[in-house]
Copies of this chain bind each other. A is one copy, B any other.
Amino acid sequence: MQLFYNSDINEATQQLTFSKEESRHIVRVLRKKERDILHITNGKGFLFSAEISIASDKKCIATIVNTETKSKPWNYYLHIAIAPTKNNDRLEWFLEKATEIGIDEITPIICQNSERRVVKLERLEKIVQSAMKQSLKFTLPKLNEPIKFNDFINQNSDETMCIAHCEEGEKKLLKDTVKPSEKTIILIGPEGDFSSEEIKRSLEKKLQPISLGESRLRTETAGLVAVQTISLINQ
């Protein structure tokens, strides 16, 4: 199944007009004709089937003929706050893989040791969207604006918050820290790790220091290992 994404449609939508770019793709590349059925999600747990009424490569129009609700295939709520990697590809890679496995919310956090402090959300949005479509999911992970480390730990406090830092000290394994179906936030630091000051603050804020295991992992690998650990705990 080829899945399209359109955030604007909802249960009340009857007709759908595709953008020029999408119309071209549908008619020219996919060679869809009138009466063909397209599958579209709004990323909010809905799958819409729409019949093409006008197969124009500039302005393709389709009429919604069926609406299904689709619950997400993962049974947990996971929010990863991750420092953008120096090399942007690595963050993008993390977003793609995390979306495939199952994640609800991602926040880029700017830390003292962050070498990259600017993030192009628009590009990241596109990566998350295509990963959702490619893995046939109907719930789009929420991608938040970048935020400074301190602001982030100050404003999130109700969920279980874990910090995966590399400094010495008492740490439990992530898999022994989080309970199934527990709403969880996990902080992943930049290449140079969280600063001692940030780690100190996180402890004052009662974040749980966790370990992802014996191996030394890159930022984006640590992020993915965290996602897969939560996924397994809930399997």
Q: Which residue numbers of A lie inside 8 Å of B, CB to CB?
A: 73-74, 93, 97, 100-102, 134-137, 173, 175, 213-218, 221, 224-225, 228-229, 231-232, 235
Decide: B235 and A101 in contact? CB cutoff 8 A.
no
Given contacts A97-B224, A175-B235, A232-B229, A74 and B218 within 8 Å (CB-CB): no
Q: Which chain B residue lies CB-closest to A217? A: B100
Tell me if A175 and B232 are in contact (CB < 8 A).
Answer: yes
The 3 closest A-B pairs by CB, nearest first: A73-B214, A228-B228, A135-B216
Give the number of copies in the complex.
2
* A215 cross-chain contacts in B, Cβ below 8 A: 73-74, 100-102, 135, 137, 231
Given contacts A229-B228, A232-B175, A235-B175, contact A136 B216 (CB under 8 A): yes
Chain B residues closer than 8 Å to A137, beta-carbon distance? 215
**Complex formed: what's the CA distance from A214 to B225 in Å?**
17
Report whether A173 and B228 are in contact in the complex, using a CB–CB cutoff of 8 Å: no
Q: Tell me the minimal C-beta distance from A136 to chain B in angstroms.
A: 5
Interface contact B175-A221, CB-CB below 8 Å = no
Besides A101-B215, A101-B217, 8 other CB < 8 A contacts? A73-B213, A93-B93, A101-B213, A101-B221, A135-B215, A173-B235, A224-B228, A225-B231
**Which residues of B are found within 8 Å of A102, using beta-carbon distances?**
214-215
Chain B min CB distance to A202 (Å): 23
| Complex partner residue of A225 from B101, B135, B136, CB under 8 angstroms | B101
* Complex CA distance for A48 and B102, rounded to whole angstroms: 42
Taken together as a complex, chains A and B put the C-alpha atoms of A175 and B74 apart, in Å, by: 16
Q: How far is the CB of A26 from chain B (nearest CB, A)?
A: 22
In the bound complex, what is the Cα–Cα distance between A214 and B101 (angstroms)? 9
Q: List 10 A-B contacts (CB under 8 A).
A: A93-B93, A101-B221, A134-B218, A135-B215, A175-B235, A215-B231, A224-B228, A225-B228, A225-B231, A228-B229
B-chain residues with CB within 8 Å of residue A173 when the two chains form the complex: 235
Report the bound CA distance from A229 to B232 in whole Å. 7
